[in-house]
Amino acid sequence: MIEHGLKLLAVTSEKQTDTVIENDVIAKIRGLIKKHNFEEGDRLPSERKLSDKFGVTRNQIRAAIQKLEFYGIIETMPQSGSMISGMGVPSFKTVMTDVLDLDTPNFKSLIESRVIIESNAVQLAAARCSEQSLVELEKAHENFVYRIVNGLPSLIEDIKFHLAIVKTSENTVLYGLMKVIVPDIIGHFNKEQICDRSQALKLVQEHEDILIAIKNKNPEKASTALRLHFRALRDYINKTN
């Protein structure tokens, strides 16, 4: 079974409840940080301990931490757990408040925004890519391929590859907007388990086509490759119009 996160879900009351719980967990993490005066580099308690302390599931803890990670507030390190990022304390408090105050957008709006952002960013990436940004983009692609090949959950690595594309555009506004909407996009994806490995490998090939076009500094081919990759998302938008 391979998780690829492509099946799209309608917003339901269950999802709205999940969002309430997630935001409650985020608020509690903020309270914990304030109570213990955590600073940059300090490690948070484990997911198990947070789950027991807050009375929620580990999946709900993980979802909240992932959201904070994408906003740059928390950094999760392999074998080391989650720790406070390099964000200064005043900025940290401001962003935490902003995260909790964000309205939950509908999925169609999220997807439309993502398509607009990435469609422009991928062309800029192909035109502006630096050696360093290509290294980061290739690393993100390799991480995604590793998860797919080994039958591991790959949704986060998939999203990180697309974030790397936007970052390669060297447009900080586009990158900032993408980071804002990514956590909610993840929340709407159905972690679909599939037995057809060819579908997962197809995603790998589509990512590779985008990567090669960017490396070759060909904005037109990069745009075409992304458009083909986004067929399912565009079909969803068209069906809901």
**CATH number, domain with residue 186:** 1.20.120.530
Pull the structure tokens for residue 69. 């990670």
Claim: this prediction has a pTM higher than 0.85: no
Picking from 101, 128, 162, the residue at the C-terminal end of a domain is: 101
Total domains present in the chain: 2
Comparing CA positions, the residue from 240, 239, 241, 204 lying closest to residue 225 is 204
Q: How confident is the model at residue 31 (pLDDT cuts 50, 70, 90)?
A: confident
Least confident of 4-18, 78-92, 106-120, 215-229: 4-18
Residue 4 in domain: no
Residue 91 has pLDDT above 70, yes or no: no
Q: How confident is the model at residue 2 (pLDDT cuts 50, 70, 90)?
A: very low
Residue 176 has pLDDT above 90, yes or no: no
Q: Are residues 24 and 65 in the same domain?
A: yes
Average pLDDT score over residue span 221-226: 97
Buried-exposed string 221-233: b where 16+ CB fall within 10 A, e elsewhere: bbbebbeebbeeb
Domain of residue 111, residue span: 107-240
Residue 12 has pLDDT above 80, yes or no: no
Q: Is 222 helix (H, G, I), strand (E, B) or coil?
A: helix
Picking from 83, 101, 119, the residue at the C-terminal end of a domain is: 101
DSSP class per residue in 81-133: EEEE-S--HHHHHHHHHHHHH-----HHHHHHHHHHHHHHHHHHHHHH--HHH
Average pLDDT score over residue span 106-111: 80
How much is the mean pLDDT over the chain? 79
Q: Are residues 32 and 88 in the same domain?
A: yes
Least confident of 27-41, 107-121, 128-142: 27-41
Q: How confident is the model at residue 186 (pLDDT cuts 50, 70, 90)?
A: confident
Least confident of 82-86, 97-101, 144-148, 233-237: 97-101
Whole-number pLDDT of residue 189? 64
Q: Are residues 25 and 86 in the same domain?
A: yes
Q: Are residues 139 and 190 in the same domain?
A: yes
Which CATH number belongs to the domain containing residue 79 in this structure? 1.10.10.10
Residue 76 has pLDDT above 70, yes or no: yes
Average pLDDT score over residue span 118-143: 96
Q: Are residues 73 and 126 in the same domain?
A: no
Picking from 48, 72, 101, the residue at the C-terminal end of a domain is: 101
Sequence-separated (6 or more) residues with CB below 8 Å from residue 180 = 71, 102
Residue 6 in domain: no
Q: Are residues 159 and 216 in the same domain?
A: yes
- Block residue for tokens 């936007």: 166
Q: Are residues 141 and 78 in the same domain?
A: no
Residue 39 in domain: yes
Residue 106 has pLDDT above 50, yes or no: yes
Q: Are residues 208 and 97 in the same domain?
A: no
